[in-house]
Amino acid sequence: MTKEQLKKLVDVAAGRIPADLVIKNCKVVDVYSARIIEGDIAISDDVIAGIGNYEGKEVLDVCGKYVTPGFIDSHIHIESSYVSPEEIGKLLVPHGGTCIIADPHEVVNVCGIKGLDYMMEAAKNTVLDIKYMVPSCVPCTPFENAGAIIDADKMKEPITRENVLGLGEFMNFPGVISGDSDVLDKIMVAKESGKIIDGHSPSVFGNDLNAYVSVGIRNDHECSTVEEMQDRISRGVYVLLRQGSACHDLRNLLKGVTKENSRRCLLCSDDRQPKTILELGHLDNHLQICVEEGLDPITAVQMATLNAAECFGLKDRGAIAPGLRADLVIMEDLKDFKVTNVFIQGKEVARDGKYLPEFKKCDISSVRGSMHVKDFSIEKLKLNLKTNKVHIIDILPGGVVTKKSVDTVELDENGDFIFNPEKDIVKVAVVERHKNTGNVAVGFLRGYGIKEGAVALSVAHDSHNLIVVGTSNEEMAFAIEKLIEQEGGVVLVKNGEVIENMPMPIAGLMSDKDGEWVDKKLTSLHKVAYEELGIHQDVEPVMTLCFMSLVVIPEIKITDKGLFDIMKFNFISLEAE
C-alpha cells in the first residue's frame, strides 16, 4: 500500500470521501466478539475501511443478508482434487473460499521442487489466494521410492518464498520422536526462517506426543477421536477438523468442541474431489455440518476464518474490520450457508455459484512425462508362496486406516493366488514409476469388493507409484500397461478391455481438463466400478485405493518395496506364521 492509498483509506474510513464500494444493509458476522453487527461495509481499494453508515461510488444493497470473512481452508492437497490450481480456484471461490493452505507434497514427491514451481506459477492464474507449505517428507519415509528426495538443504530456498508459510505436515512422526538427525535438520530450516510447521501424528499419545509437539508443531489434521483432539489442544496445538472426500472426521470431532476450546479448532478438507465440491460444496458444507451438530453458527464461522488466520499468522485477514483484506462472503443465512456473492480484495469474484474472473491456464510441460517404469511384465505379479496363511490389508469403513489381519487363501500348484469371489480377498500391487528400478510388490487386500477385472491408478499416496488391484494377473498387468500409455490417472479394465479411464497428464496426478469434466469422469468411473466390477457400494473406489500405499497411516500398507507394518515400522513377509 502506498502513502496515497493509505491517506485515501483513512479518508474513506472517516467518511470524508466516498468508498470505492459500499455493501449496504449487512448483517456482519463479528468473529472477534461473536455477535452480529448491522450496517454497511465500506471498501477502499482492496481493504475494508469500516463498518457503519457509508456512501460509495459503487453500492451493493444485500438487503439484510449475512456477511462473513472469506473462508480459509487450513489444509488441502490440490492434487487430490485431480485438477490444477487454476481449476481448484474456479471450484472453491463460488463456495466462499478465499484462501487455502495447500501442501503440494504429491506433485513434489513426483517432480521435486519443479513440481512446487509449477504449482506456484499456476496459482497466479486464480483469484483464490493459494498459500503453500514446503513438503517436509519427500519421500514421506525411507521405505518407498519417490520421484525426488528433498532434504534440509533443498528446503532452504523455497521456504523463504513469498506465499510459502512454512513446512508441510511432518508425517515422519517416528523420526521426530526419536530425534533423528536428518529430521531435526529439516525442522531447523523452518525455525531459522521463522516459519510454522504442520503436524501429522495419528494415534500418538503421552510422552511421544510431547516429544513431537516440542519441536514446534503448530497444528494437526489427523485426529479421529475426541481424545486425540483434546490431547493436542492441551499441548497448544490447533486441531484441524477434517471433512474430505475420503476422511469424514468432522461430525465425530465436533462432539469435543466446547466454548472453552473452540478457538483452537479449524476446518479443513485435506482431500476433496470435484464431485464432492460440486454436489456438497466446500467449507460452506463444513459450516452446515457444524450447525447440524448443534454448534453455534458464529463459532463455526470463527473456525473457518479467524482461527485459521491466527494459526497461520495471516494478520491481514480472518475477520471483517478496518484495515483488513476485503475478503467477504455474502449468504442467505447461518444455517444452510448458501453463498450468493464472494469478494476477494474488494472485487466481486463469484455470484450465484458462478466464478466471474477471466480464466487462463499455466503451461504443464515441466510436469508431464512422469512414467518411468522398467521391465514391467505379468511375471512380476505372480507369487510363489510356501504357505496359504498370509497377511491381509483390511480396509476399514469411513477412512484410510487399515487393519492387519491373517487369513488363508487358495493357491495353485506354483504357490500363486487363486481368486475366490466369495472371500473378498484380492491381489494388490505397487509398481515403481519414478526411477526405473523395476520394483513390483504384491500383497492382499480385503474389503474392496471387486469381483471382476482390475483398477489401476498413478495416484498412490504419498510417493505416487502405480497401484493396481484385480482378480487376475492378466487383468492387473493389462491395466498397468494402459495406465502407462495414457501418462497416468485411472484405468478400469474388464475382460482385457478398458471400460473406463481418466488420463492425468500433470505429473500423473492431475487432469488438464476442467472440474466439471473431471466430475463427470469420476461419476462414470464410480458407476462402472460398482456396476461392472462389483466394488462395494460403501467404498470410494479411487480414493480408497490410492491410500493403500500410505505408510504413515496405521496399521498396514504396501509400497514398491513390500508389505509394511506401520505399528512395527518395518517390512513384514506376505506369508504369516
**Helices marked H in 235-315:** 250-254, 274-280, 283-292, 297-304, 306-311
* 512, three cell numbers: 488438464
Residue 351 CA to residue 343 CA, distance in Å, equals: 9
**Region for 111 from its dihedrals, namely left if φ exceeds 0, alpha if ψ lies in -120 to 50, beta otherwise:** alpha
Give the CA radius of gyration of the chain. Answer: 24
Output the CA–CA distances (angstroms, integers) from residue 28 to 18, 51, 100, 330, in the order listed. 20, 9, 22, 9
Torsion of CA 14, 20, 23, 28, to 10 degrees: -50
The answer to whether residues 116 and 81 touch, using CB atoms and an 8 Å cutoff, is: no
Name the nearest CA neighbour of 141 among 458, 552, 509, 570. Answer: 552
Given the DSSP bridges, would you call strands 129-134 and 164-167 parallel, antiparallel or unpaired?
Answer: parallel
Can you give the pLDDT at residue 2? 95
- The CA–CA distances, whole Å, from 360 to 90, 104, 127, 350, 435 equal 11, 21, 11, 16, 33
Residue 398 has a pLDDT of 67
CA end-to-end distance (rounded Å), the chain: 69
Query: What is the reported pLDDT for 381?
Result: 98
CA pair distance 381, 456, nearest whole angstrom: 13
The SS3 of residue 562 is strand
**Nearest C-alpha neighbor of 214 from the set 223, 203, 230, 201:** 201
Q: DSSP state, 544?
A: H
Q: Give the pLDDT of residue 275.
A: 86
Neighbouring CB atoms inside 10 A of 58's CB total 12
Distances in whole angstroms, Cα of residue 11 to Cα of each of 7, 52, 265: 6, 14, 37
Grid cell, residue 191, equals 525455525
Q: How far apart are CA 457 and CA 464, in angstroms?
A: 9
Classified as helix, coil or strand, 348 is strand
d(CA 376, CA 382): 12
User: Chain centroid to CA 293: how far?
Assistant: 23
Is residue 468 a contact partner of residue 479, using CB atoms and an 8 Å limit?
yes
Read off the C-alpha cell for 14.
472517516
Does the domain made of 70-315 have the CATH classification 3.10.20.600?
no
173 neighbors 554 (Cβ within 8 angstroms): no
| Cβ–Cβ < 8 Å for 50, 286 | no
DSSP string, 185-214: HHHHHHHHHT-EEEE--TT--HHHHHHHHH
Q: By the 8 A CB rule, do 231 and 206 touch? A: no
CA 227 to chain centroid, in Å, comes to: 23
Domain locations in the chain?
70-315, 368-572
Which pLDDT score, from 0 to 100, does residue 399 have? 64
Region at 34 (left for phi over 0; alpha for psi -120 to 50; beta for the rest): left
On the 0-12 / 13-18 / 19+ scale of CB atoms within 10 A, 2 is: exposed
Cα–Cα distance measured from residue 435 to residue 237, given in angstroms and rounded to the nearest whole number = 38
pLDDT of residue 406: 97
pLDDT value, residue 525: 96
What residues are paired with 21 via a beta bridge?
43, 58
pLDDT at position 577: 83
pLDDT for res 552:
77
- Could you tell me which residues are beta bridge partners of residue 564? 557, 571
- Cell readout for 535 is 466394488
Q: Select from 149, 147, 150 the least CA-distant residue to 436.
A: 147
Q: Which helix (H) or strand (E) holds 223?
A: none
Q: What's the gap between Cα 287 and its chain centre?
A: 18
pLDDT means per 10 residues, the chain with 577 residues, are 96 97 98 98 98 97 98 96 96 98 96 97 98 93 90 97 96 92 97 97 94 97 95 98 90 97 97 91 98 98 98 98 98 97 98 95 95 96 97 87 95 97 96 97 97 97 95 98 97 98 97 95 96 94 91 91 93 95
Helix (H) or strand (E) holding 169: none
Exposure string over 43-57, b if 16+ CB within 10 A, otherwise e: bbbbbbbbbeebebe
Structural contact between residues 41 and 23, judged by C-beta atoms closer than 8 angstroms? yes
